[in-house]
């Protein structure tokens, strides 16, 4: 029998390098999944149901020091699932990691379906588990092997939820957010993160939190079907 090692089930993004996104005015389905075509535009025009331009104003100042060859996605950008964002964060003090990320799907599951053989206490059993699957590409020469991809969930009340960490090396239904070793320039990998939402809360969005005081990058919803 395995025991679920719970992390923080909610937060406000108070970490030195994490932002605190506010609640969105439009909610997404609890069962949103799938991905958009990689040949389509990565962003939609800014609107309540679309997303803002990745390029934004001319030569914006990056929120972290990155090479001149890197254009970070503007803070505050909203993206459909499957769209790409170029993000940067500090996995450790004095280090900056850069990744191209696509959040591909949000999958609602149950403990009975995905945690068979696990010992789940009563308090945990009241929570709702979700899997978030994403695709990461390393655009720079720095080896990011062993680095954890930084993504949070946000519920319909604007609460940030941290991904769970497990004592087991690999949780097979959702293998985790750690990039493989090595992970060099041009390498790509799929990651999967587990989130547990409080009773009565709905899954609203996936959030990348830039440093404190910088607006988050948000993925939610499917792009509209082409006519």
pLDDT of residue 148: 95
Is 5 a residue whose pLDDT tops 60? no
Confidence class for position 44, pLDDT limits 50, 70, 90: very low
pLDDT of residue 168: 66
Q: Which sequence spans correspond to the domains of the chain?
A: 1-227
The model scores a pTM over 0.85: no
**How many whole angstroms separate alpha carbon 135 and alpha carbon 105?**
10
**How many whole angstroms separate alpha carbon 61 and alpha carbon 32?**
34
Is 215 a residue whose pLDDT tops 70? yes
The region of weakest confidence among 20-24, 49-53, 150-154, 155-159 is 20-24
pLDDT in tens, 124-137: 999 999 999 999 99
Sign of CA dihedral 192, 9, 200, 118: positive
**How many whole angstroms separate alpha carbon 218 and alpha carbon 227?**
26
* Fold type of domain 1-227: Immunoglobulin-like (2.60.40)
Segment 218-225 mean pLDDT: 88
């Amino acid at each position: 029998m395995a025991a679920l090692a719970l992390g923080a089930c909610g937060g406000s993004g108070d970490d030195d390098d994490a932002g605190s996104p506010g609640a969105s005015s439009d909610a997404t389905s609890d069962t949103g999944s799938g991905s958009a075509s990689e040949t389509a535009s990565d962003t939609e025009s800014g609107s309540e149901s679309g997303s803002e331009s990745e390029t934004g104003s001319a030569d914006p100042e990056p929120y972290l020091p990155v090479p001149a060859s890197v254009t970070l996605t503007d803070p505050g950008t909203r993206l459909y699932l499957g769209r790409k964002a170029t993000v940067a964060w500090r996995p450790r003090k004095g280090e900056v990691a850069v990744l191209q990320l696509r959040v591909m799907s949000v999958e609602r599951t149950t403990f009975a379906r995905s945690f068979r053989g696990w010992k789940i206490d009563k308090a945990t059993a009241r929570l709702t588990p979700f899997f978030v699957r994403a695709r990461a590409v390393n655009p720079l020469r720095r080896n990011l092997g062993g680095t954890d991809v930084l993504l949070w969930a946000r519920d319909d009340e604007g609460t940030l939820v941290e991904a769970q960490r497990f004592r087991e090396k690999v949780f097979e239904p959702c293998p985790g957010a750690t990039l493989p070793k090595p992970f060099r320039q041009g390498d790509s990998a799929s990651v999967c993160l587990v989130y547990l939402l409080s009773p009565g809360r709905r899954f609203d969005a996936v959030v990348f939190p830039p440093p404190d005081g910088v607006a988050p990058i948000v993925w939610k919803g499917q792009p509209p079907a082409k006519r």
